[in-house]
């Protein structure tokens, strides 16, 4: 695969949430896992407030690698976390059907199933990454994970719930769990996001 000319198409599905919240995105094959992380954040609708981690099978060793932001204070014996901006996505997603998990916000623990659906070629005049499809709104940040989100939906569906008004106020007045349009997705520059996250130049 010529990663400078190829694209990778993924389906990203949020687990433990029903009905499913999912996105289909196509990214350049020369992306790093940091770049991919930014694309997932933007496509899903997260705000990148928290830490993240990919867990993916290493095609060489057969073990599971963790890829994200290394912890400088990690203790001896803790799993080694590879720096996402140093690891090419294509070195792990070598074949259609390859799967991984992506976890965002270790407190709420939003776990996403990630599957490589297709390998394609870049089309002239097309900007990547791009969102090709998806369903349902991303849960609000800091709502308590899948359980807290389920409770939130129950609350705003029942005007007699004692937490109805305060929950709507916290949500900014309204929340439509079914609302999503791939045409409204806007992708940030991952290098600029990296600079912001680490307060330094690329």
What is the model's pLDDT at position 202? 43
What is the model's pLDDT at position 72? 75
CB 20 within 8 A of CB 136: yes
Instruction: Report the Cα–Cα distance between both ends of the chain, in Å, rounded.
Output: 27
User: Can you give the residue ranges of every domain in the chain?
Assistant: 6-138+180-198, 139-177
Looking at the predicted structure, is the pLDDT value of residue 201 above 60?
Answer: no
Q: pLDDT digits over 26-85, tens only?
A: 999 999 999 999 999 999 999 999 999 999 999 999 999 999 999 876 666 677 899 999
| CATH 3.10.290.30 assigned to 6-138+180-198 | yes
What is the model's pLDDT at position 78? 73
What is the model's pLDDT at position 185? 97
CB 118 within 8 A of CB 10: no
Looking at the predicted structure, is the pLDDT value of residue 4 above 60?
Answer: yes
Mean pLDDT to the nearest integer, 188-194: 92
Task: Characterize the bridge pairing of strands 130-135 and 52-57.
Answer: unpaired
Q: pLDDT digits over 89-145, tens only?
A: 999 999 999 999 999 999 999 999 999 999 999 999 999 999 999 999 999 999 999
What is the model's pLDDT at position 74? 63
């Amino acid at each position: 695969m010529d990663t400078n000319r190829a694209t990778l198409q993924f389906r990203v599905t949020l687990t433990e949430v029903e009905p499913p919240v999912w996105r289909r995105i196509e990214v350049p094959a020369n992306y790093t896992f940091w770049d991919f992380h930014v694309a997932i954040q933007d496509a899903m609708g997260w705000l990148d407030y928290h830490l993240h981690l990919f867990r993916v099978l290493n095609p060489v060793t057969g073990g599971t690698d963790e890829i994200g932001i290394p912890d400088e204070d990690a203790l001896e014996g803790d799993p080694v976390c590879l720096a996402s901006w140093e690891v090419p996505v294509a070195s792990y997603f070598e074949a259609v059907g390859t799967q991984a998990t992506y976890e965002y916000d270790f407190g709420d623990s939003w776990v996403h199933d990630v599957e490589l659906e297709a390998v394609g070629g870049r089309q002239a005049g097309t900007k990547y990454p791009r969102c090709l499809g998806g369903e349902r709104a991303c849960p609000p940040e800091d709502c308590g994970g899948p359980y807290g989100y389920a409770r939130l939906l129950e609350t705003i569906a029942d005007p007699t719930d004692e937490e109805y008004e305060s929950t709507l106020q916290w949500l900014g007045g309204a929340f439509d769990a079914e609302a999503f349009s791939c045409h409204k997705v806007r992708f940030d520059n991952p290098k600029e996001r990296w600079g912001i996250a680490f307060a330094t130049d690329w």
